[in-house]
Amino acid sequence: MVRPQQYDLFISFAEPDSAWVHGFLMPALEEAGIAWTAESAFALGVPRLEAFAQAVAQSRRILLVLSPAYLANDTLRFVDILAQTYGLDGGVWPVIPLLLEAVKLPPRLALLTALDATDPNRREAALARLVAELGRTLPQPTAPPPCPYPGMSPFAEQDSERFFGRDREIEDALQRLRLHPFLALIGPSGSGKSSLIFSGLLPALRTSTLFGKAPWIVRSMRPGETPQIALQVLLSDLIDFPSLHPTAALGAARLLLIIDQFEEIFSLSDDALAFQQTLRQMTRLQSVYLILAIRSDFYSDLMTSALWSEIQAHRFELAPLGPEGLRQAIVLPAEAIGVFVESALVERLVADAGREPGILPFVQETLVLLWEKLERHYLPLRAYEAIILSRRAYGDEHTTGLQVAMARHAEAAFTALSPGQQKIAQRIYLRLVQFGEGRAHTRRRQSVASLQTHVAEADFEPTLSQLAKRRLLTVTSEATSGERLVDIAHETLIQGWPRLKGWVSDLHEAEEHRRRLEAKAAEWVRLGSKNGGLLDEIELAEATVWLESAEAQVLGASPSLKALMQASYTARNKARNLLRGRRIALGALAICMFIVVLSLMPVESGWHSLTHLPFTSGDLDAFDGLRVSHDLSDPDRIFVFNARGDLFRSEDGGQLWQPIAPLLTETTTSLAAARASVYAATTKALYQSKNGGDTWQAVSTPGGQAPATVTLDPEDPQHAFISTRQGFLYETTDGGANWEEINHPSDISPPDLVLDTNGKHLLLTDGEHIWIQEIGTNIWRPFAPQTPISIPVLDLAMIGRKGRFLMALGAQGIGDADVNGALWFPLPDAPPPAAIFSLSASPTARYAGMHDDVLCWRHWTWTDLDWWRRRFGLATPCS
């Protein structure tokens, strides 16, 4: 008997393989015009075996999708037997085996030629053979449907058909609003507060019968900087301000006001109190409903807000999405548009996500990346593994796909920051990593205060806020003290973000050194910030070297650490001065014994501290210090200034000091003096004094450029040179009336130029290299010492016209060289080890600016009365 056959193909498969069958196989068969049926089409109430028999009888061919799961199913194992039975009647062998995974076939199937789809890369070819077997041609895959996942963005109301996993929370929120028209939705960043409100709760409100038949008027806003004004503009047609009476436009409708990111009132708003009071009054209006979405890390601010009583009574705390909700959020949006996600991929994503707060946006971002790997309407696990493999090729052996998505997002967020903010972000992340010795690095929660280098760091809060908004940091409040605490949002960032891994690898040891120093500073503060807990000589030297390092500039130092070092420097210098006094007293007799022998020889004083300085560096940054200059023809006329704007002059070698008032409104950056003529470069202009600094007048510069450094010819004060902040060099021979540009080497870093001259040679450095020019030749040649210098050069000072000069080398002290390449380092008579920031030199005097002190070296003769006065402890210049 011939049976009517409605279908070209009956597809028999196991449930674990359903995603591939529904997403890859069935859409291709439909596109090829092949009529198929499967178990999902069985009529309800019909015994399963009977339904199988009917399906086999109504189909020309039977496709068995073979896998371990299929062969383990006792019911499915009878399908091919049924097919063989019906095949005997028609004289056709109807069974087509398709190997989805490598399995050992039973003898009755092993005799057949199976379609091999075990290799994912050959499944299209296997599918083409199947379609050809059925007398059709396989068309090219159609364009994939639009991605249903929003990535890092929240779901909107129009996305409600793609919003899944929060059914219980939606119902709970509906019931709360039914009982009271105020709801404060509180949850961690990334927990889905906005999505729940706009894609879940709002559509449910519109269709719910719990609130009557009156229509909803929905308005939403973010507080911003002026929330009260924004609220009035938003509701001007519905509410009369300031009376808060509903207008006729509201009528019988219900108003739902949604305030997203309510926490902005605590950081951005100037009229936060008035705004909260208005909201509190609005909660008493009939038919007005209010929903606030608030980040949980602002709990301490909420507890002191004017709305706290309402928030406390009607808060709804949103927990991170659980595993089952996460599965729904992954699977159901895809299935809604006919795409099927392999179950193994779903479980991998759920396992990688764990229960991290705020992980859902990163899962969605990962799915956006995977969407490009769709195989027809099927999203396989191998697409996820391909992302991982692309990173493992660069040595990341334990990377997950979520880490890849996080890394891409983190990199995009980091590059969007300004250069200054990027430095702050790097410091924040390094301080938030707990280094594992032989174990994986973990997160290390820290207070906001411990992440700052100083309280007035302008870019810190914007950087912290931006990273929190991009869900890369979490900010919470300590329950008892209300102190804000910061943590890395996801531990997977530490292992999965290459930039952060590089920071940890490069700066691990330096950061641990910083933490040890900060611990000493904290102990010093605990002991009262006095003499207890000061750094000893070795510790202070180590701390100084660390603070001068490039790593310290990245990692930063707290004000308390800088204060500890300042106090330790002061205590050390006092001890040295006391010891020096004792040595002088003991050596006085020996000096007298040699007086006759040495009476005809010049005497050098050695380096001494100017003990009568009018100020200390105080709160200056550890990377800056005191700047010093002196009149090259009068060593007793000294100028000392700093980055804070202080500028003082001494006419007696440092005994008495007076401020230079006309320049105190600007910060002096460089100063040069010779024969009572003084030039001062400030952050804004160039000034000249012809009477040693009593009165000043502005000197015009080319194009009004701000000068960076200025230097004078010791023999001709009208002959001056400047470098500008724009990177240009200029020379004047008439006191600044006219300027002529000088070329500079092509491979120099213009913003950091330092100049000095002796009237015959011109020296130039950008901190890394030194160039020399014979004045008048306009030809620069690099300084090539016999021993290369690998230490940054902070300042230069020439000694007379023979070509000898000094170099300030920071914590390494002072180097001595000449223009022909000779180099003496360190100096035999070098000052005590300390950071040297600036130099001023002449044949008879040298001055060195340190962080909190100025050192003096003088060249005396025995006939010089000052030398005798100094040796016998009387007040003298340079004492």
In tens, the pLDDT along 389-432 reads: 655 544 455 567 777 878 888 888 999 999 989 999 999 999 99
**CA 406 to chain CA mean position, Å:** 14
Better pLDDT: 213 or 80:
213
Indicate the SS3 state at residue 493: helix
* CATH code of the region 7-133: 3.40.50.10140
pLDDT digits (tens, 9 = 90+) for 33-56: 999 999 887 777 778 778 888 888
CB contact at 8 A, 663 and 649: no
pLDDT digits (tens, 9 = 90+) for 141-193: 888 899 999 887 888 889 899 999 999 999 999 999 999 999 999 988 778 89
For 270-315, the pLDDT digits (tens) are 678 889 999 999 988 888 999 999 988 788 888 889 999 999 999 9
Cβ neighbours around 48 below 10 Å, total = 10
pLDDT, the chain, mean: 82
What percentage of residues in the chain have a pLDDT greater than 70? Answer: 84
Looking at residue 871, its pLDDT comes to 44
Work out the pLDDT band at 90, boundaries 50, 70, 90: low
471 has pLDDT over 70: yes
CA distance 29 to 41: 16
Backbone angles phi, psi at 712, to 5 degrees: -120, 150
pTM: 0.54
Q: How does pLDDT run across 549-578, given as a tens digit for each residue? A: 888 888 888 888 888 888 888 888 788 777
Class (C level, CATH) for 608-871: mainly beta
> What are the CB-based long-range contacts (under 8 Å, 24+) for 32-36?
32/131, 32/134, 32/136, 32/137, 32/138, 32/139, 33/136, 34/8, 34/9, 34/131, 34/134, 34/136, 35/6, 35/7, 35/8, 35/9, 36/7, 36/8, 36/9, 36/10, 36/11
Residue 202's nearest CA partner among 154, 234, 248 is 154
At 25 the pLDDT is: 94
- Residue 607 and residue 855 in contact, taking contact as beta carbons nearer than 8 Å: yes
The most confident of the ranges 105-109, 342-346, 637-641, 687-691 is: 342-346
Taking only the tens place, the pLDDT of each residue in 731-774 is: 999 988 899 988 877 667 655 567 677 778 888 888 888 888 88
Q: What is the pLDDT of residue 874?
A: 41
The mean per-residue pLDDT over the stretch 425-444 comes to: 84
Task: Assign domain 166-317 to its CATH superfamily.
Answer: P-loop containing nucleotide triphosphate hydrolases (3.40.50.300)
DSSP annotation string for 636-668: EEEEEE-TTS-EEEESSSSSS-EE-GGGTTS-E
Q: Does residue 242 have a cis peptide bond before it, meaning omega lies within 30 degrees of 0?
A: yes
- The residue with greater pLDDT, 293 or 92, is 293
pLDDT of 590: 67
Integer Cα distance of 280 and 272 in angstroms: 12
Give the 3-state DSSP-derived string for 806-859, with helices as H, strands as E and coil as C.
EEECECCCEEEEECCCCEECCCCCCCCCCCECEEEEECCEEEEECCCCEEEEEE
Tell me, what's the pLDDT at 830?
60
Contact 226, 272 (CB under 8 A): no
Coil, strand or helix at 136: coil
How far, CA to CA in Å, does 458 sit from each of 513, 530, 685, 757?
A: 26, 30, 26, 38
- The type of residue at 794 is L
Beta pairing partners, 382: none
CA distance 82 to 94: 10
Q: What is the mean pLDDT of residues 697-725?
A: 89
Asked whether the predicted pLDDT for residue 592 surpasses 70, the reply is no
Q: What does the pLDDT read at residue 270?
A: 67
**Identity of the amino acid at 672:** A
- Contact present, 75 and 55 (Cβ < 8 Å): no
Q: Which amino acid is at 682?
A: T
| CA distances, 746 to each of 236, 546, 750, 756, 773 (Å) | 63, 32, 9, 19, 14
Q: For residue 29, is pLDDT > 90?
A: yes
Least confident residue range of 15-24, 44-53, 499-508, 621-630: 621-630
Q: Which residues contact 718 (CB under 8 A, 6 or more apart)?
A: 677, 732, 733, 734, 735
Q: Are 806 and 799 in contact (CB under 8 A)?
A: yes
pLDDT band at 863 (very low <50, low <70, confident <90, very high): very low
Confidence class of residue 95 from pLDDT cuts 50, 70 and 90?
A: confident
Q: What is the pLDDT of residue 498?
A: 87
pLDDT tens digits along 485-544? 888 877 778 877 889 989 998 998 888 888 898 888 888 888 888 888 898 888 888 888
C-alpha 384/C-alpha 816 separation (Å) is 62
770-774 vs 761-765, strand pairing mode: antiparallel
Q: Helix, strand or coil for residue 205?
A: helix
Task: For the chain, give the longest Cα–Cα distance.
Answer: 142
| Cβ–Cβ under 8 Å, residues 24 and 78 | no
Percent of the chain with pLDDT over 90: 25
- In contact, 671 and 680? CB cutoff 8 Å: yes
- The answer on pLDDT for 623 being more than 60 is no
